[in-house]
Amino acid sequence: MSAGSFNIRQLSTSRILYLAAACWVILYAAASFLPDSPLWGLNHLAFFPGAERIGILLLAIVLLIPKVSSLYLSAAENLFERVQRTQMLRSAVTILLGTASMLIFFRLRIVTDIYGDTRTLLSWLSRYHYSLVDLLDPKETEPLTRMIHQSVADWFHLDLKFTFQVVGVLAGGIAVMTYLMAVQYVRGPAPWKLFVLLVGLTAGVNQLYFGHVEDYTLFHLWSLFFLIVLWVSFEGKNVVLLMVASLVVGARLHVEAVFFIPTCIYAVLHASKETSSRVRRWIEPRAIGVFVGSTVVAGTLAYFFYFHADHYVVGDRDEVFKKLFLPMVNFHLPPHSYSLLSWKHVSDWIQEILFTVSPAAVGMFVLAIVFRRRIDWKDPKILCYGLASFYFLLFNMTINPMLTPIRDWDFLSLAADPLTFLAIALSQQIFLMFKEPGDQRTILAIGVALAVISCSIFLVNADPVKVSRRLEGTGTWAYHGFYSGSSYIINVGEKMITDPGEQITRREEEIRKLEPSASHPDLELGVLYHKLGEAALVAHQYDLAMNTFTLAYANDSTNASAIRSLGLIAMLNGRYDDAEEMLDYYNENLNRPIVRDFGALVLAQELAHLRMLEADHADSSAIRRQREDVTAFYVGEYYK
């Protein structure tokens, strides 16, 4: 080898790890300039002002410097060992950190309702009251979760939305305390325990604890408890009954608990392996492979021949919800394409993992692949958590995300829990490989530095300006990706802009950005035209409103409200014949034989009143006042 050549094998393990970390930081930095790219699981920094963005990146880089990381990690190890010396100190620190985490979760609550089906959920719970009978109904998918929230709201006379937020924050505090206690009592050296804390506490799925209004927060807490019980089982404790009973409770919290059934069966068999040689054969990797393969074959056959999910016949909402899974062929109008095998879907699936799992866990998976020959893949913990991770990820890969995983990240985030524990199981062996304290601290430092960047998403979602930008950016990618529902994401983000002029400008810029990729007609773009028209009406920009409502109707001929709005604009501009024609058409089709929009009938009366005033040559000030009254009510109240 020549003197000037480079050989990576000559680098120390720590330097190779730092090189990998540098590449990862560069990826985060690059993604920060791509707010509407496929990298929506990594581009958190794109929504921070330039100075804040640079500051976060610099902090991450400083935390990676060996001398700096050695200082704070040595201090952390010493502190952790001191805390573990007495039961009283352990309990005090656990309670203190749990309480502090609740304060953080509450202070940094999510400021938008777009995540999950908040409005739909609250509307349903206001009409239907859950009881113990519903817990026995197999058709109910999360009855215990909903019953708990309703009960708390009734007991303490709280608003239901606020109840979800408070219960979520409390669940987060309990989760932190549970996790801390588990880490303190599990066997292992201090550096590894610090890594376990890092992986669990910096996972993006913990966003559920930040005042999230959905059905998944309590399930996330339960999942943590269940996975800890599994770990205790592999440590030699007899917790089979607790494990099985817990699984039953979890299934009533959310139906996705069924993906833990293979894991639970394996853990029960493993606990009984000493009593039967046949049981030992059943839990061998080959037997597990046969079981997993058979379930995949059965699922594939069901996908094609029972659900007929490989394609859509009509593609309407009923068929989408009935078939549940993504088709194998594109079902959107050109140029939009999104299917089970499309690169856009694979990208979203990967981004979902990067978004909800700690970077430290992802790094552990990378190390496990690199050192795969030195990993004992027969380790019961790896097999157990690997089973759970596989079925959750398979579900995430095949399920139809309905309104894009970017919006419904919470629904798909539940795979993060088994993935976290799989990373912990792998880390036990990897920390044994890297026996040098310097190498172990390097792994920890990389995890800490990357967590600083990834956890910035909590700050984004707690800030109206930042989350507005994020929703707009991710909605733009959704338009090019899953497409359906992308206008909803974009509109919610732009509605959070309080300045009317800025909001109109941003809406116009967004539409110009999307128009080159529009289909003909384009329902999602039609919604954005309509929302721009409403914003223009509020700002009394009637010409702009008329143009955009016309485009909205051109892209969606069922958009009757665009006709009503065009009638209102014509009326305010003094074009009474045009206004009468449009309002008559609207009322004839929507308000007969049943009145569905009383406001449109009143608007027609207001039009008749204006025509009468002008026919009687009324004072111009009276006509102006009448128009101002119409504007104030219909524009200022009806559209806002």
CB 331 within 8 Å of CB 339: yes
Please check whether residues 222 and 358 belong to one and the same domain.
yes
The verdict on residue 550 lying in a domain is: yes
The verdict on residue 158 lying in a domain is: yes
Tally the domains of the chain.
Answer: 2
pLDDT at 636: 59
Please check whether residues 494 and 362 belong to one and the same domain.
no
Domain boundary among 461, 486, 520: 461
Those residues whose C-beta lies under 8 Å from the C-beta of residue 326, and which sit 6 or more positions away, are: 309, 338, 339, 340, 345, 398, 399, 400, 401
0.85 surpassed by pTM: yes
Domain boundary among 416, 437, 461: 461
Task: List, for residues 57-80, the tens digit of each pLDDT value.
Answer: 999 999 999 899 999 999 999 999
Task: List, for residues 447-503, the tens digit of each pLDDT value.
Answer: 999 999 999 999 999 999 999 999 999 999 999 988 988 999 999 999 999 899 999
Distance (Å, whole) CA 97 – CA 412: 28
Instruction: Count how many Cα atoms sit within 13 Å of the Cα of residue 306 in the half-sphere of its side chain.
Output: 8
Distance (Å, whole) CA 133 – CA 143: 9
The verdict on residue 435 lying in a domain is: yes
Please check whether residues 428 and 485 belong to one and the same domain.
no
Q: Is residue 314 helix, strand or coil?
A: coil
What are the respective helix, strand and coil percentages of the chain, to the nearest 5? 75, 0, 25
Give the mean pLDDT of 567-589. 87
Please check whether residues 378 and 253 belong to one and the same domain.
yes
Those residues whose C-beta lies under 8 Å from the C-beta of residue 81, and which sit 6 or more positions away, are: 190
Task: List, for residues 313-363, the tens digit of each pLDDT value.
Answer: 877 777 877 788 999 988 777 888 889 989 999 999 999 999 999 999 999
Please check whether residues 365 and 473 belong to one and the same domain.
no
The secondary structure element, H or E, covering residue 233 is helix 217-234
Task: Say what percent of the chain tops pLDDT 90.
Answer: 63
The verdict on residue 2 lying in a domain is: no
pLDDT at 10: 45
Please check whether residues 448 and 590 belong to one and the same domain.
no
Distance (Å, whole) CA 28 – CA 17: 17
CA 169 to chain centre: 17
Please check whether residues 203 and 86 belong to one and the same domain.
yes
Give the mean pLDDT of 176-202. 93
Domain boundary among 440, 461, 482: 461
Please check whether residues 451 and 510 belong to one and the same domain.
no
Task: List, for residues 150-170, the tens digit of each pLDDT value.
Answer: 999 999 999 999 999 999 999
The rounded mean pLDDT for the chain is 89
Show the domain range for 38: 8-461
Pairwise pLDDT comparison (609 vs 413), residue with the higher score: 413
Task: Say what percent of the chain tops pLDDT 70.
Answer: 96
Please check whether residues 40 and 12 belong to one and the same domain.
yes
Task: List, for residues 233-282, the tens digit of each pLDDT value.
Answer: 998 888 999 999 999 999 999 999 999 999 999 999 998 887 777 788 88
Give the mean pLDDT of 287-299. 94
Give the mean pLDDT of 410-426. 94
The verdict on residue 3 lying in a domain is: no
Among 99-103, 142-146, 189-193, the minimum mean pLDDT is found in 189-193
Pairwise pLDDT comparison (194 vs 278), residue with the higher score: 194
Please check whether residues 525 and 562 belong to one and the same domain.
yes
pLDDT at 335: 85
Please check whether residues 358 and 476 belong to one and the same domain.
no
Indicate if the pLDDT at residue 526 is higher than 70: yes
Here the CATH number for the domain that contains residue 560 is 1.25.40.10
Please check whether residues 401 and 477 belong to one and the same domain.
no
Those residues whose C-beta lies under 8 Å from the C-beta of residue 208, and which sit 6 or more positions away, are: 168, 172, 214, 216, 217, 220, 410, 413
